[in-house]
């Protein structure tokens, strides 16, 4: 009997504990919602007090991982391209943990500068006949749609280089001094047509950098075209392109290349081990169906250690990873487990 009562007490305590935990979780969830609402209301008061008629709150998000305050997003009433973001903590009366007036002033200035930079890239590529579909929020690189074939790729890359030069000149060096280069992402028109598009009421800077939009454009293989600079200006003739693949496609390609290269190397080195190292595979000039990159290998297994690769070959393959032509041996590229030293391609 006492054992049964003990089990019942234990069971009751467990149920009580679960209910208490559920209640705490519910209260925590409610608290987050209330905090966000309070932070949003506080942000609206700040905007009305310090920049009346200039800012309009459009979103407020709880910060994750959880920290004090909420991210509040403003539209700028006299600039449809600009977006302003700050962290507001109504309870502490701070923004980004500092005095709100100064933080808000700086955020508005930054938002306007970013809108200017956005207009520079959008207008420059529009003048070249390309709609900017999206802009990478980290690099500023635009996404455009174009069909690339072996017969058109060289001319198209040169054309995009001219657009990139205009873009950087229009930006007027606002991204920190002399231009060091530029990049442009190119998707097929079919992928562009199915892209996720943000609400038209959103500021342009917000709509063109949305995570859902970028994810939809990157859900299929695309081309990233890079350009160098000469004397602080983009050099249109320096363009080179690489294919950027979704994770599973990239893994499948790498496995095919490493397997094929390993088979070719075993003719001379029966115990060869190919490294898992993944190189950036660049298009062969004048093609969209041939890529070239490095594969690292070890002539002999190194005990229990994985093969970092102390030797390398340069190989050209088709898009499935099948080598086209022979391997170009580079020789020693690493001493032991030291730094990798690959020659320029």
As a whole number of angstroms, the distance between CA 105 and CA 82 comes to 14
Q: pLDDT per residue over 41-100, tens digit each?
A: 999 999 999 999 999 999 999 877 566 789 999 999 999 999 999 999 999 999 988 999
The 3-state DSSP class for residue 211 equals helix
At residue 172, the pLDDT reads 80
DSSP summary character for residue 325: S
| CA 262 from centre of chain | 32
251, containing H or E segment: helix 247-265
Share of the chain above pLDDT 90, in %: 75
215 pLDDT more than 80: yes
Is the model's pLDDT at 175 over the cut of 70? no
Identify the pLDDT of residue 4.
Answer: 43
The pLDDT value recorded for residue 75 is 97
- The neighbour count for residue 36, using CB atoms within 10 Å, is 21
Contact 175, 140 (CB under 8 A): yes
| pTM as predicted | 0.83
38-42 long-range Cβ contacts below 8 angstroms, 24+ apart: 38/90, 38/91, 39/69, 39/70, 39/72, 39/88, 39/89, 39/90, 40/70, 40/72, 40/88, 41/90, 42/88, 42/90, 42/93
Query: Of 18 and 45, which is predicted with more confidence?
Result: 45
**In angstroms, how far is CA 209 from the centroid of its own chain?**
10
* Position 30 pLDDT exceeds 80: no
> Is 277 in a helix, a strand, or coil?
coil
Helix (H, G, I), strand (E, B) or coil at 310: coil
- On the question of pLDDT at 212 being above 90, the answer is yes
Tokens of 307: 């093969």
> 114-124: string of b/e by CB count within 10 Å (b at 16+)?
bbbbbbbbbeb
Pairing outcome for strands 182-187 and 142-145? parallel
Q: In this model, does residue 126 exceed pLDDT 90?
A: yes
């Amino acid at each position: 009997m006492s054992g049964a009562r003990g089990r019942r007490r234990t069971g009751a305590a467990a149920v009580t504990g679960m209910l208490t935990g559920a209640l705490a979780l519910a209260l925590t969830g409610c608290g987050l919602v209330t905090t966000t609402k309070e932070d949003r209301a506080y942000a609206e008061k700040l905007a009305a007090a310090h920049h009346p008629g200039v800012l309009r709150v459009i979103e407020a998000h709880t910060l994750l991982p959880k920290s004090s305050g909420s991210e509040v997003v403003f539209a700028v009433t006299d600039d449809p391209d600009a977006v302003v973001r700050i962290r507001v903590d109504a309870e502490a009366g701070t923004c980004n943990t500092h005095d709100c007036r100064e933080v808000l002033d700086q955020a508005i200035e930054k938002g306007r500068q970013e809108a200017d930079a956005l207009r520079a890239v959008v207008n420059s590529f529009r003048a070249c006949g390309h709609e900017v579909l999206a802009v990478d929020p980290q690099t500023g690189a635009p996404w455009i749609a174009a069909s690339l074939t072996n017969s058109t790729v060289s001319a198209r890359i040169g054309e995009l280089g001219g657009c990139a030069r205009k873009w950087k000149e229009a930006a007027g060096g606002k991204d920190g001094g002399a231009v060091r280069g530029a990049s442009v992402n190119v998707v097929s028109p079919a992928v562009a047509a199915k892209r996720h598009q943000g609400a038209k009421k959103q500021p342009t800077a917000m709509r063109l950098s949305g995570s859902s939009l970028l994810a939809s454009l990157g859900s299929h293989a695309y081309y990233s075209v890079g350009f160098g600079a000469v004397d602080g200006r983009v050099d249109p003739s320096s363009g080179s392109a690489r294919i950027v693949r979704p994770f599973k496609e990239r893994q499948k390609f790498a496995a095919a290349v490493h397997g094929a290269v390993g088979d070719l190397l075993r003719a001379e080195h029966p115990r060869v081990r190919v490294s898992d190292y993944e190189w950036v595979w660049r298009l062969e000039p004048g093609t969209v169906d041939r890529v070239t990159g490095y594969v690292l290998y070890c002539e002999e297994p190194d005990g229990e250690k994985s093969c970092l690769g102390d030797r390398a070959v340069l190989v050209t393959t088709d898009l499935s990873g099948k080598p086209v032509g022979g391997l170009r041996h580079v020789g020693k590229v690493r001493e032991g487990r030291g730094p990798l030293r690959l020659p320029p391609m």
